[in-house]
Structure 1
Amino acid sequence: MAERPKKRQRIELSLETKVKLIQEFDSNPQSKQKDLALKFKIGKQTVSDIIKRKQHYLQLYDANISGERKRITNGKFENLNGLLHQWFNQARSKTLPISGPILKEKALQFAEQLGIADFKASDGWLTSWKTRFNIKQFKVSGESAGVNHDVVDDYKERLLTIIGDFDSKDIFNCDETGLFFRALPDKTLSYKSQAAKGGKISKERLTVLLCCSSMGEKLKPLVIGKAQNPRCFKNINKDTLPVTWTANRKAWMTSQLFNDWLQQLNRQMRQQRRKILLFIDNAPSHGQDLSVSNVTVKFLPANTTSVLQPLDQGIIKAFKARYRKYLMRSLISRMEDCASVTELCKAITVLDAVNWINAAWKETQQTTIAKCFMMCGFPVTSEQESDDENDDNIPLATLLATISSEVPVAELLISITIFPQRTRMRVTGKLN
């Protein structure tokens, strides 16, 4: 009895390998498909099928499809998938946010137009569609998509002319930011068998105005709250606070508050016999007619602050990271004495926040500030050129050093795992 020939092992080609085969065929059209089959260890019919569908594979490759080894099939809804992919590209070219529910709804519309009655926009179909076209979900952040780069380039070219004879130490930028000063982390570790319950997240906010020079000089922060005299300020002279405190009903910046701050800054510069150049954004709360003797105010072009304002390039982010460090230290030290999340939040006072704001601002590195100015096109000086520093690197040892030695180690570990996202800690060993 004749021995049956061994069945050739099935080989699945990756998309990248298929593209290489197509490129070899295009570079030498006279080459035989048999030779390509032997080289890539596949059948002649497979080579023929790949060449016939070369436009399809090249389009997938150009669309940044992952080159992992996987079989690419036509799919039951190939036309629908292709139309949805084209629509997706058009929408993203306009920087429109596209979510899963939007894709499902649009897919159902395409199915109706194509007369596909059995199509269901299920989660499984959506996952397969995103995998096929190498699409992932990202959080939309920042305002950079709305920036006119021609305006940015033109402004950077004119920046030296705008600065004129001002020294780097006299070039300042100010901006305000909202600070949820009692906000607990919104994520936690928990046992798989238990629900991750939590309390209501505090949204009590302060507005903090920060001002610094291109050389790293930092002025006293302006903090805006909701009460002129919070209960925690009892028996405290507000003039002795490490920040300038003011208030209004919504804790927002207003044109009157900004003008008062600018007048105070002008008096300070006049006493120092300095004249400075202050760059600000064109927010309505900053007003328009800001003429003072020792502070020359320049407005940044509209819709460009995400790339032209130094404080937005990482200074505020570094400041908030350091504020969170102080907040987390306080939370860990107070956990034993609080019975609930609400009680833990209320234990944090405005006076605590004021002191942490001051400490976080003082610890923000001068080199970080200088580099953010440089990123926005401001002139570089020899003093500003230094090694990179990580303002958000808060080591575990630093945090542990602030905890009282009376806290049991086991409880300390539990406390740390409750807040992993904000403190950015990684515990790899055991504490004894």
Structure 2
Amino acid sequence: MQRVVDFARPGVAFTTVQHAFRRVTHPMQLKRFREYVANNGNRRQKLERVEHFVLDRFRSARNNNLPVHDLDVKRWALSQAKIENIDDFKASDYWLLNFKKRNGISSRKVTKLVSHLEVVDKSIIKQTVDDFVAEATKHIPKYKFDFVLNADQSSFNYEIASNRALSYAGKKATYLSVKSLNAISHSYTVMPIISAAGQLLSPVFICLQEPTSRFQITRAVFSASNIVTSCSTSGKLNKSLAEYWIKEVLDKVVSNRFLLVVDQWSLQADITVYENNLTKGQSCKLLVIPRRATSTKQPCDPYFCRQWKVLTKGIYHRVSLDELDVDLRSRDAIIKLQIWFIIN
């Protein structure tokens, strides 16, 4: 439209304009075009600019993980429509519905909360991840795959309950029976070591939760050659247990030089802890995965522990649904369950 108006300057015959622009068929069109250009476009063009503006604002907000609601979209549309001088634009529910359909937008449940700092530092995080990948690519070829290792702590609740279940449509509340509300909020830790050769190394370390940080003397602890068991008040590793893991597990599975990939937990990211507790003079090269990158760059996370937890949850579900006489919260049941996964 702007090109037609620029071309049809005073003194240019209408037939010349028609020859250059075949869709211009009547002199009245030139008049309307000049009015549209003077008003910065026709109504359709102005509405397109409103939509582009709103879509840009929406994309910017979601790229920064900010919440956007229907009222925000309408507010953005009305403010831009005022700038475009579209006086009768109301940002109605019908317009909003069509806008969301055209751009593939719908209301979604929030599945994860992230800190503002994490959003702001995306570019920094990406750079540190790229640097880590480059360093790992440089060092891994120097070792046999059997001695390129990854160790990670994985937490398991004492009782695992499903967060979804089939029920009757239209019910306002869906209840789920558990043996102990306390058990679904308390956990123990399993710390496997896997190699780049695709092997789960034995033994596997299990840290159970005991109120006194000691196993009760009156109860024997089930043991097997492929596990090492200890405990703490929280069910998580502390400094002494990290050192115990190195002496009783890592020291037994490595006999020479090896490369170990770990996350940024301070107790396992300190090379001196390994140097002080390995007893065979092993040479340890430590690679520490940057923060916010373990979900994709730590092999244990996406390729091992996640599947391990899915299978564990399935067993808890089957025992609960079939009302089997098995208490999976007990110490021996937990150890035997983890042993079953190790040998299978």
* Shorter-chain TM-score tier: 0.5 to 0.7
TM-score, scaled relative to structure 1: 0.53
Please name the residue that 1:133 is paired with. Answer: 103
1:260 aligned partner: 244
Summarize the Cα distance change of 1:135–1:112 in structure 2 as closer, same or farther, 3 Å threshold.
Answer: closer
Cα 1:252/1:33, change in 2 over 3 Å: farther
- How many angstroms does 1:322 deviate by? 2.0
Matches of residues 277-292 of structure 1 in structure 2 within 5 Å? 277-288=259-270, 289-290=272-273, 291=275, 292=278
| 1:226 alignment partner in structure 2 | 209
Structure 2 distance, partners of 1:255, 1:224, is 13
CA distance in 2, matches of 1:54, 1:167: 68
Change (3 A) 1:194 1:298: same
Q: 2:284 aligns with which of 287, 296, 314?
A: 296
Whether the 8 Å contact between 2:215 and 2:231 is mirrored in structure 1 is no
Alignment partners' CA distance in 1, 2:174 and 2:24: 63
Structure 1's 192 and 235: CA in aligned 2 closer, same or farther, altered over 3 A?
A: same
Q: Corresponding residue for 2:10?
A: none
- Is residue 276–residue 295 contact of structure 1 (8 Å, CA) maintained in 2? yes
Matched ranges for 1:33-432 at <5 A: 79=50, 83-92=53-62, 95-99=63-67, 102-104=68-70, 106-107=72-73, 110=76, 128-136=98-106, 137=108, 146=122, 148-163=125-140, 165-192=142-169, 194-199=171-176, 202-219=184-201, 220-227=203-210, 228=213, 235-240=219-224, 243-269=227-253, 273-288=255-270, 289-290=272-273, 291=275, 292=278, 293-294=281-282, 296-303=284-291, 304-334=293-323, 348-363=329-344
Deviation per CA, 1:50-81, whole angstroms, max 9, x where unpaired? xx889969xxxxxxxxxxxxxxxx59xx94x6
Q: Match of 2:174, SS?
A: coil
Q: Distance in 1 between matches of 2:98 and 2:218?
A: 61
Give the TM-score normalised by the residue count of structure 2.
Answer: 0.65
Deviations 1:365-404 (A, max 9, x none): xxxxxxxxxxxxxxxxxxxxxxxxxxxxxxxxxxxxxxxx
1: distance between equivalents of 2:233 and 2:64? 35
Structure 1's 133 and 311: CA in aligned 2 closer, same or farther, altered over 3 A? Answer: same
Which whole-Å deviations, capped at 9, do the CAs of 1:14-73 have from their partners, x for residues lacking one?
A: xxxxxxxxxxxxxxx855489xxxxxxxxxxxxxxxxx889969xxxxxxxxxxxxxxxx
User: Once the 2 structures are TM-superposed, how far is the Cα of residue 128 of structure 1 from its aligned partner?
Assistant: 4.8
Contact 1:177 1:209 in 2 (8 A): yes
Structure 1 gaps of 5+ residues are 1-28, 35-51, 58-73, 338-343, 364-432
Q: Could you say if the C-alpha distance between residues 251 and 237 of structure 1 is closer, same or farther in structure 2, counting changes exceeding 3 Å?
A: closer
Two-structure CA RMSD over aligned residues (Å): 4.4
Once the two structures are superposed, what CA deviation does each residue of 1:131-166 show, in whole Å capped at 9, x if it has no partner? 232124375569998474444444434435423642
Cα distance in 2, alignment partners of residues 210 and 267 from structure 1: 14
- Find the aligned partners of 2:226 and 2:42 in 1 and give their Cα distance: 70
- Rg larger for: 2
Q: Which whole-Å CA distance do the structure 1 matches of 2:65 and 2:214 have between them?
A: 43
What's the CA shift for 1:188? Answer: 1.9
In the alignment, the residues of structure 1 paired with residue 96 and residue 245 of structure 2 have an alpha-carbon distance, to the nearest angstrom, of: 53
Q: How many residues align?
A: 285
- Give unmatched runs, 5+ long, in structure 2: 1-19, 26-40
Per-residue deviation, residues 236-292 of structure 1 (Å, max 9, x unmatched): 33544853222222222323322221122343146xx44432111122342523323
